[in-house]
Amino acid sequence: MAYQAPAALAALTQQLATLPGVGAKAAQRLAFHLLAAPPEKSRMLAQALLDSAEQIHPCPVCGNFTDRELCPICEDSGRQRQLLCVVEQVSDLISMERVSGCPGLYHVLGGVISPLDGIGPEKLNIASLLRRVEEGDFREIIMATNPTVEGEATAQYLAKKLRRDGLKITRLAHGLPVGGTLSYVDEATLELAMSGRREL
Ligand SMILES: [Zn+2]
């Protein structure tokens, strides 16, 4: 008879393998690592998973993750409320914050428009962005989507939708590697891109 792993081990490996970037081999390695560690380690990991699933949700205003009603950036009264920085993912927001890139507020799209992948504007946080800009008092919107084909196209699409008198729409400038993502850009490059942004 073929070897069968104990049910709990098989289930653990199977769950780990559903995570992005974790293949069958890596899932097995992680499972064995956890089994070899004191049970306390698994308990803490399980608790952290449960806590984040139960306590963390997207900020209803900007899409950042939060465990309160609004996220700390939306609640921060020291922020420039006339400046809005549009990013693809929360990880991009975190990159921007690490270099104190945007003294204003953020809007997290949750991705980019990509017709080939079946992602239209309706699948992203775009309706909420248009409403927010309509109702708000913004003077500048920075399109900080990634310098990929889809990121550029999404920035252009949004610029067209948002354009109005008295509102400046800008794009992060030179220095960003084409095809790269903000999350992996070094801090100096990101700061330079921010300071040299151009109008769309
Ligand atoms: Zn927020």
Q: For residue 77, how far is its CA from the centre of ligand 1 (angstroms)?
A: 12
The residues with which 87 forms a beta bridge, in sequence order, are 108
Q: For residue 137, how far is its CA from the centre of ligand 1 (angstroms)?
A: 16
* Mean pLDDT in residue range 53-69: 97
Q: What is the pLDDT of residue 13?
A: 96
Confidence of residue 172 (pLDDT cuts 50, 70, 90): confident
Structure tokens at 26: 């890596």
Q: For residue 34, how far is its CA from the centre of ligand 1 (angstroms)?
A: 35
In angstroms, the CA 77 to CA 8 distance is 49
Q: What is the pLDDT of residue 89?
A: 96
Is residue 25 over pLDDT 60? Answer: yes
CB 89 within 8 A of CB 68: no
Q: For residue 151, how far is its CA from the centre of ligand 1 (angstroms)?
A: 22
Q: For residue 66, how far is its CA from the centre of ligand 1 (angstroms)?
A: 8
Q: For residue 116, how far is its CA from the centre of ligand 1 (angstroms)?
A: 30
* Mean pLDDT in residue range 183-198: 72
Q: What is the pLDDT of residue 170?
A: 93
